[in-house]
Amino acid sequence: MLDFVRRAAADPRIVASLPLDPEGRTWLPLDGPGGSEAWLIGWPPGSGTGWHDHADSIGAFTTATGTLKEYSLAARLPTDGWKTLELTDGIDRSRVLTAGRGRTFGRHHVHEVLNESATEHAVSVHAYFPPLPRIRRYSRNGSVLRLEQVERPEDWQ
């Protein structure tokens, strides 16, 4: 999947096909490889995802234009049956993903992705396998992570 998102992010025709909105994120579905779900996503300045995971899907994403910052947790969290967790020290990670840089992630990877630029849009390509069964959204206050909402495909299509 990482090869796919890198190739798509490097294709100027694909990137140019995305309408950019100064007020909110935009997205277009792409034909992902091998039954995966893929998206081209536009990030206006200051936008982000909030803390979330992709449940049982593995994934990859690459920045096509601009710069994205990913904050993540270097810990495997319980998959179900909890609402609030106290996080331990030292599990926070961050990485800057400039144009052409990408990464993969495994199941239940909790992260948030942000365009921290005050002036420039970013565009990225994402792929997930199996196609997203759900997204769990979290709030974070210091070391406390709280499950806030579970979204299913019908909620975002």
The answer to whether 97 and 68 are in contact (CB under 8 A) is: yes
Terminal CA-to-CA distance of the chain, rounded, Å?
22
Domain that holds residue 67: 2-156
Centre a 10 Å sphere on the Cβ of residue 88 and count the other Cβ atoms it contains. Answer: 9
Nearest Cα to 125, choosing from 18, 35, 23, 6? 6
Residue 86 in contact with residue 143, Cβ under 8 Å? yes
Q: What are the pLDDT digits (tens) for 14-67?
A: 999 999 999 999 999 999 999 999 999 999 999 999 999 998 899 999 999 999
Q: Categorize the per-residue pLDDT at 11 as very low, low, confident or very high, splitting at 50, 70 and 90.
A: very high
* The pairing of beta strand 37-43 with beta strand 84-86: unpaired
Within 8 A by CB and 6+ apart from 138, the residues are: 50, 51, 52, 53, 110, 145, 146, 147, 148
* CATH code for position 74: 2.60.120.10
74, two tokens: 């270097």
- As for how many domains the chain has, the answer is 1
Predicted local distance difference test score (pLDDT) of residue 101: 98
What is the model's pTM? 0.93
pLDDT in tens, 112-136: 999 999 999 999 999 999 999 899 9
Beta bridge partner(s), residue 142: none
pLDDT score at 69? 98
